[in-house]
Amino acid sequence: MAKIDFGGVVENVVTRDEFPLEKARQVLKDEVVAVLGYGVQGPAQALNMRDNGITVIVGQRGGTKNWDKAVADGWVPGETLFSVEDAAERGTVVQYLLSDAGQRSVWPKIVECLDEGDMLYFSHGFSVTYKDQTGVIPPPHVDVALVAPKGSGTSVRRNFLDGSGINASYAIHQDATGKAEERAIALGIAIGAGYLFPTTFENEVYSDLTGERGILMGALAGVMEAQYNELRRHGHTPSEAFNETVEELTQSLIRLVAQNGMDWMYANCSTTAQRGALDWKDRFRDAVAPVFSDLYQSVLDGEETRIVLDKNSDPNYRENLEAELKAMRESEMWQAGAAVRSLRPENWGK
Q: Would you say residue 204 lies in a domain?
A: no
Predicted local distance difference test score (pLDDT) of residue 313: 87
Residue % of the chain over a pLDDT of 90? 87
Say if residue 77 is in the same domain as residue 181: yes
Residue 184 has pLDDT above 80, yes or no: yes
Residue 350 has pLDDT above 70, yes or no: no
Residue 286 has pLDDT above 90, yes or no: yes
Say if residue 249 is in the same domain as residue 174: no
Q: Region 154-168: what's the mean pLDDT?
A: 92
Distances, alpha carbon 213 to alpha carbons 27, 167, 201, 304, in Å = 37, 20, 18, 10
CATH, residue 241: 1.10.1040.10
Tell me the average pLDDT of the chain.
Answer: 94
Say if residue 29 is in the same domain as residue 116: yes
Q: Would you say residue 342 lies in a domain?
A: yes
Q: Region 165-189: what's the mean pLDDT?
A: 96
Identify which has the larger pLDDT, 253 or 4: 253
Predicted local distance difference test score (pLDDT) of residue 194: 84
Say if residue 189 is in the same domain as residue 215: no
Q: Region 111-136: what's the mean pLDDT?
A: 95
Q: Region 246-260: what's the mean pLDDT?
A: 93
Q: Which of 21, 28, 58 is nearest to 119 (CA)?
A: 28
Say if residue 149 is in the same domain as residue 185: yes
Domain count of the chain? 2
Say if residue 170 is in the same domain as residue 57: yes
Identify which has the larger pLDDT, 52 or 313: 52
Predicted local distance difference test score (pLDDT) of residue 164: 86
Predicted local distance difference test score (pLDDT) of residue 10: 85
> Residue 103 is part of which domain span?
2-199
Q: Would you say residue 321 lies in a domain?
A: yes
Say if residue 230 is in the same domain as residue 274: yes
Active site annotation includes 141 = no
